[in-house]
Each structure stands twice: as structure tokens, then as C-alpha cells.
Amino acid sequence: MHETLVTNLLPVEAFPNTIYVADAAIQRGAEARAVWGETPGDWPRDWLVWSGRLCSFTDPSTGLLSRLCSGPVSSFPSAEWAGAEDDDRRHRFVRLLKGALSGQMRPALRSSKDLTWVAAADELPVVINIPDTSTTRTIVKEYPRGDGTVRYVRHLAFLPTFVRYDEQWYLELTPSYHFTRDGHEPDFYAASHRSGIKRIERPSDFRRNVDTLARLLRGGVDLGGLTPDPDHQLLGFSELVQVRLDTGEDELDEADDDVNEDEDEDEDEIDDRSAA
């Protein structure tokens, strides 16, 4: 008999064909803040500065990136970095992928150096409907104290890790949680909250969160006011990778339920235990 397992690898189905390069007017990426100053709106994220050169998926001859350049723009195929064998070029390509992901998923997602999480909406909780099912999933939720004030807000999060196997790039989804005091400011006890949830989570919780994140990144759920701009999607993702295993058994274990089944009860159980 065979069993099909769904992994946490989300194939990168598409990325820009071209990487643009120009002499940089800054020495480090952090200096862009001083150049752009109080410019409103979301700043570009799919770029980096390396050896005095600005490299980007977006043509830097126009827009805000043009203010970071000091010379003409040239380009080369993205495949040169995407298929590179040396760690240095692969690392630069991963930085561009992470920047592109961060930029295209706003305002739905926010990122720090190591973690990406679902942003809070004006009204909490943030609950999404799973298409073609009667299932809902809570991706941002506030937890009150006894006096009704907010104890903390829990955001579904993940560690964005891009990996390449057999010439194919994947986004490896490792679910986690981000905690804030009010939906925006980091909570001082985030590490304690996170470790408390991790101690009580089950494999089904991991699978459910991977499935939810994959749906968010593919644009498969309605996020209301948090929905990213569909015209600014540099990366495309396909379905999670499945692996077919030979179990050597006559019957599959029926206890391994579908990821959607009984998930409301699982979330309630996690909420009750973590709030205890």
C-alpha cells in the first residue's frame, strides 16, 4: 500500500527573468532610509547592495530605486544566480527572493530579519474562510486579561527559508507565531508565549498551519483589506510538494485525518491551554 504525505515545501513556480544592476550611490542597504527620507508608501524590497553595485528584480532606472543608483543600468538573466553552484551567488539570489516576497505580500504580511507574520487588521480577530469548505481559520487573535485589557495578540508566522533541490527552488514553510502587545508593538514575553504553544502543539497543528500559509502565499484566500496588490506579484507559488510512500501495510491508519477535519476544535484546545 502507499500513502501520500504533504510536505512543507512550496515550489517557487515563477520569479522575474531578469536581474538589473547599476553602480550604487550608497555603501549599505540601510543607508536607503536617509536617501528616501519621509517618502510615503511602501518602499521597494527586492534589491540589495553588493560590492558597490545595486542589484534588483525591478528596473532601478525609475522610481525610488533610481535615487540609489549613480550610473547606467545593465542586466543579466536571473538564471545565472538561480542556478549558480557557488554559495555567494545563491545567497544573493535568496536575498532577492526574500525581498520580493516581503514586498509582494504587503499589507497582509510583515517581516523582521528572521520571521514573517500576518499583520493585524483594524478589527480582531482576523479569520479567513477556506475555499470549497465550511472551515474557518483564525490567523490573528487577541487574548484578554481578566479586566478586559489586551494581554497579547498572537499572529500566525513562519520562518521564510528558500532552498533549492534538483534545480528547483522552494519556500520551506516552518510555522511559528509572532506576539504583539496591541497588534503592532512587539510583546516583551513573546519567547515565553511561543515556547508555551510549541510544547502543546500536535502534528495536525503543524500541518494545518503549513496549509494555511501556503494558501495565503498563493493568494487562495480572501484577506479583505489586507489583500496584497495582485498586479505586484514578482513570485508565484504552486501546490505544496507531495511525497508518495510505500507503507508496506494493507490498510492505512484512519486516524490520520484530513488537515481540515476538526481543526476548529484543535485551535480552541491550543487557545485554552496557552492562555492557562
The C-alpha cell at 250 is 494493507
H or E segment at 34? helix 32-36
Residue 68 near residue 54, CB atoms below 8 Å: yes
The Cα-based distances of 52 to 27, 31, 112 in angstroms read 6, 13, 25
Please count the other Cβ atoms lying within 10 Å of the Cβ belonging to residue 252: 12
- The whole-angstrom separation of Cα 65 and Cα 91 is 21
pLDDT tops 60 at residue 258: no
- The whole-angstrom separation of Cα 19 and Cα 91 is 14
What are the counts of helices (DSSP H) followed by strands (DSSP E) for the chain?
Answer: 6, 14
| Residue 254: pLDDT band with limits 50, 70, 90 | very low
- Each domain of the chain, given as residue ranges in start order, spans 2-16+110-274
The confidence score (pLDDT) of residue 1 equals 74
pLDDT tops 80 at residue 276: no
Each residue of 22-58: pLDDT tens digit? 999 999 888 998 889 877 767 899 999 999 999 999 9
pLDDT tops 60 at residue 250: no
> What is the separation of C-alpha 242 from the centre of its chain, rounded to a whole number of angstroms?
20
Contacts of 25 (CB under 8 A, 6+ apart): 35, 67, 68, 69, 70
Please count the other Cβ atoms lying within 10 Å of the Cβ belonging to residue 133: 11
Cis peptide before 107 (omega within 30 of 0): yes
Please count the other Cβ atoms lying within 10 Å of the Cβ belonging to residue 260: 16
Each residue of 125-156: pLDDT tens digit? 999 999 888 899 999 999 999 998 999 999 99
Find residue 178's DSSP bridge partners: 155
Find residue 129's DSSP bridge partners: 136
